[in-house]
Structure 1
Amino acid sequence: MIIGVPKEIKPNENRVGITPAGVREFSEKGHTVLIEKSAGIGSGISDEEYINSGAKIVNTAKEIFDNAEMIVKVKEPQSIEIEMLKPNQILFTYLHLAPDYTQTIGLKKSGVVAIAYETIEVDGKLPLLEPMSEVAGKMASIMAAYYLAKPYGGRGVLAGGVTGVHSAKFVILGGGTAGLNAAKVASGMGASVIVLDINAERLRYLEDVLPKNCQMIMSNIHTIEEEIKDADAVIGTVLIPGAKTPKLIRKDMLKTMKKGSVIVDVSIDQGGCVETSHPTTHADPVYEVDGVLHYCVANMPGAYARTSTFALTNSTLPFALLIADLGWKEAAKRYPAIKKGLNVVKGKITCEPVAKAHNLEYTPPEQVLE
């Protein structure tokens, strides 16, 4: 199979869909890898490293989209990339379709087989989302602490406090991978941390692994309302696989929060868990609503591109190799995890939460695999 890796064009996105080690794995199995010139520069990977691993460097994205049978990316295709997609081409990347009607319709019309990293599921876990959730969770607490500084619009509260002065209060919505990692970093800085989750078993686990400056609380509307009132930072990490994120913090709740407090909405890729959230970029990451600073960068791990690229590709490569070796249909038939990743197949929506989010017809993946 011919694998194509274009340079990411989303603003400030420096990750890349494959590393030289991945190129070598594909090459050893007889596949051809085309990589757009300078695609890996943002992650500290030179064209020469790719060439030495067996890749062919091409000058333009058009050459990638014209010749590749499978496109391997990091972020969802931008409008100019959707226009270059070909019927029957395989697109393997993060898609986050539930909050993105335009992209969903674009992929539907293109005739591609779109397989989403974020809905591939193994034993109830999302192995291709978890490494980026780790990065985003850790980064969320760093960003919250940074923007709490007065010069950047915050209250002027130091996350860990100092002797004789209270530390900051961090409230984390969701105790999954991102929430756990946000709590690790926030507690490591010395903040007072509250983690809210609806799963009692998960809360028991977090109680065991997190330090004593972290408290685990059962999540419901009342506890969310009460805990955010005196929070210095709120980090939203809520996730329902493939679906649009529920709005746990309504606009009217902001008026009860401290002026200069910070919200970091990690779940913005799936629509965000705060009613007043909208996607931002690394170039312009924050805005203020009712005195509360919002950080809603939709590709947070892109800021730490080298770490993120290697973490992501460690997880995506085995699945990409299966798809290349077997073809998408056989791979999905043999491996339920890959079948779960099917979001749009040749004009049909095969991920139920995406179809529901946009009120579009849903086609069970079993039907496209017949």
Structure 2
Amino acid sequence: MTALRHVAIVGGSQAGVTAANTLRTAGFDGRITLYSAEERPPYSRPPLSKDILLGRGDAASADFHVEEGVELRLGVRATGLDARARRLRLSTGEEAGYDGLVIATGARARSLARTPEDATDELRLRTMDDALDLRERLKGSGSVAVAGGGPLGMEIASVCRDLGRDVTVVDFLPPMRRQVGGYLAELITEAARDTGVRFVQTAGPAHVAGHAVVSGGHRVAADVVVTAAGELPNVEWLAGSGLIHADGLFVDHRLWAAPGVVAAGDVVLLPTPAGPVRTPLWTNALDQGKAAATTLLTSKSAPAYQARPYFWTEQFGLSIKVCGTIPGDAPPVVVTGDRAERALVLQWLSGGVPVAAATVNHRMPVAGLRRLATADSTLSPSRRGNQ
């Protein structure tokens, strides 16, 4: 086994920075080099669609803390990997060796532009530069079309309404249904409509053409067009390595991708009984960054990574937190609260066993919400609130 003296981390993401910090706090005193394609120091992405877009924070307010002794190579991308020789090829033309490698290259925003000319009118929100650019564009706008009704698209729509812009959300599926199921999706849609958001549900996927979102017979024009239609994993640089799939990077239950190589974050395809799954959640990136570093340090004695799904969003006056996996459109048990007041604690059962829980505008520690989402949680009928 190769002695661990130098760990290279590719990606200045939440997962990459967490892996670096975990190595240091766990006592690793060797060399750590973190390569990031962006010129900016690594930063947190959740604020981009909230405080940064609203103008309540500057770029530095989102910066990560990076432990002492981590060498940051900003503006340097990995362009290739020879896993057998343990060598990285870099955008500078250099080759860099390593003893252990963490791949945390994340994902990029998917484009819906049909032509390069259309792409100039399409805005996306994945990086700090994207957020600052969109913030500037919104200053001189009156209307916004958002292509995509997932969490990012709806958070952008919410901020745009807070800024007084006319907003239309375009998607071929009901907003948020894929992420939080029918009950919460309907609650969110109602709250959005109450603020004046217009929804256009199309018969199929849309594309951007100039200052408009187009799908079938629908054409939604606006001063600003924003695409929030998912992301693509950044794995192209691994072509020829034998490690990748079109949907991400294969790993095992300890996050090994190859000898000496672990991976974490949005790029990871985790093994499940139903096949490899990529789950791009902020908390997964955090947990996997820690687990990947632990695997490198302890090798075969590392515990298997256990996913703990947790998701939160703030939009249209709703603060929503979810633990577990909501079973589609299955109705929840209302543990406490009132739907009309949009302040709730919810629990979903499958076969009589708790599998997910959520809060809406209700304070509860994450640990408590996790317990409510597990089989250890039981509810007496008297605790069940109004449906």
- TM-score band by shorter chain is 0.3 to 0.5
Q: Considering fraction of residues, name the structure with more strand.
A: 2
The higher-RCO structure (CA 8 Å, 6+ apart) is 1
